[in-house]
Amino acid sequence: MINLFRPKGKNTGQTPAKTQVLDLLDLAHAQRAKIHLVFDNEVTSIHNLSCSLLSFDAHTIELELTSLKEAGRRWIGEALTCYFKIVEKRPKTREIFHTFRSAVQDTGQSEHESVLLEIKTPDAIGQDQRRKSLRISPDMANFVTLAAWPYDASGGFDPCSPKLVLADFKNSQARLVNMSAGGMKLVVKNTKLREFDPDFKRGNRVIMYLKITGVPNAAADECWLIAKTSSAYEDFVTKDVNIGLEFIGQGKIDPETQKVVWKKVVDNVIEDIATWTHLWHLELYREKGLGPI
């Protein structure tokens, strides 16, 4: 059984890599960073578990899962991938994502009826840089809404009358080829694109609204975007138009005016979408084993 009250902390005489692991865990604990777990095998119907880091030493990490009330002994020995983020304040504020592999060593239950897990402390923790550049072809079932409007220089648009909607992706008028934290690639039927904007070409900007489902650990499940067309070319055979979009603006609804307030995208990354694509990838890895994280 897990003993929450045994002293934890840095140990001396560790390898440089292990010392770095303990330093990162120190930071994660100080910042109350959430540790996200994805098991290689099915251990619960709840996917992408999020937990709190209670304590650690060079051998074990103790975690608390408030989303579960019990974890069977069959969990012991199960392999999993863990990831978390650290916020650096200097020289400028930025989020750095880390990942490591581990396995369950013990399970227990707190007095609050939450699950306690003891996992093996890894020998090394890597930066999860792939998270930001990762491109994935999402299942359209993940979307509740996908809507787009031609960008007007005045910034005005009718949110109730999008020119491209989720139904267009379901009836083959458009296809979402892939998406990353920095942009997406679409293929749109020529006639549909001309309905969207008769003068559509490279350099044009597009307003988009995305709302997703099925990603319980995402900080946000919706996103307003301004995207710039980085490429647009017609397929010689099908006449469909291949469109590359780069995210350059992110918006949020002002609760007073109910209008979208825009800000420039920093470092070519929409953090919310980075989380979506990363979690979708982890889910694919967990279910189908599509290669290493």
Q: Is the pLDDT of residue 45 over 70?
A: no
Q: Is the pLDDT of residue 162 over 80?
A: yes
What pLDDT, on the 0 to 100 scale, is given for residue 37? 83
Distance CA 23, CA 4 (A): 20
pTM exceeds 0.95: no
CATH class of 140-282: mainly beta
Q: Is the pLDDT of residue 210 over 70?
A: yes
* Band of residue 53 on the pLDDT scale cut at 50, 70, 90: very high
What pLDDT, on the 0 to 100 scale, is given for residue 82? 86
Residue 291 CB burial class (10 angstroms; 0-12, 13-18, ≥19): exposed
What pLDDT, on the 0 to 100 scale, is given for residue 215? 65
| Higher-confidence position of 98 and 188 | 188
pLDDT in tens, 111-153: 778 889 999 999 988 876 555 667 888 889 999 999 999 998 7
Distance CA 126, CA 227 (A): 31
- The CATH superfamily assigned to 16-128 is Electron Transport, Fmn-binding Protein; Chain A (2.30.110.10)
What pLDDT, on the 0 to 100 scale, is given for residue 190? 95
pLDDT in tens, 231-269: 899 998 999 999 999 999 999 988 888 888 999 987 778
- Domain residue ranges of the chain, discontinuous segments joined by +: 16-128, 140-282
Distances in Å between the Cα of 88 and the Cα atoms of 31, 125, 165, 267 are 10, 17, 38, 15
Q: Is the pLDDT of residue 288 over 60?
A: no
> Residue 36: phi, psi to the nearest 5?
-100, 135
Q: Find how far residue 69's CA is from the centre of its chain.
A: 26
Other beta carbons less than 10 A from residue 117's beta carbon: 28
What pLDDT, on the 0 to 100 scale, is given for residue 104? 92
- What percent of the chain lies above the pLDDT cut of 70? 85
Lowest mean pLDDT among 171-185, 194-208, 278-292: 278-292
Q: How many residues does the chain have?
A: 293
Q: Is the backbone peptide bond immediately before 91 cis, with ω within 30 degrees of 0?
A: yes
Q: Is the pLDDT of residue 65 over 90?
A: no
